[in-house]
Amino acid sequence: MSAGHGLIALASISAKRSLHIMLELKPTCECCGEVLPPNSPKAVICAYECTFCLTCAREHLNHICPNHGSKLVERPSLPVSAMVSPLSGASSTSAV
């Protein structure tokens, strides 16, 4: 590979790092339907963002996603100020 190609690859990697991709915080457990608000400590997800409640993960799924076979882990939560409004697509607080 020439030096020029290396620089293009680095620029591409750098551009990807600057993207702000957020998780899709699904509102309910895919197993039992329990409501899971965005900041719920009871929500777990797999690597593909399948969402389950902690009870179903423990009692029925053995902490393994039934859709993909990946481990179910605690879903990260966002502070309320960082949440996006589903109607506007904008953050609930304005940028300074």
Residue 9 included in any domain: no
- The model carries a pTM of 0.64
Q: Structurally, how many domains does the chain consist of?
A: 1
Q: What is the CATH number of the domain that holds 72?
A: 3.30.40.10
Buried b (16+ CB within 10 A) or exposed e, 64-93: ebeeeeeebeebebeeeeebeeeeeeeeee
Domain membership flag for residue 36:
yes
Section 58-80 average pLDDT: 92
pLDDT category at 80 given cuts 50, 70, 90 is low
Closest CA to 30 of 9, 50, 1, 3: 50
Q: What is the pLDDT of residues 4-61, one digit of tens each?
A: 444 444 444 455 555 567 778 899 999 999 999 988 999 999 999 999 999 999 999 9
pLDDT the model gives residue 38: 87
Residue 16 lies inside a defined structural domain of this protein: no
Let me know if residue 39 belongs to a domain. Answer: yes
What residues make up the domain containing 48?
Answer: 21-80
Q: Which pair of structure tokens corresponds to residue 82?
A: 């960082």
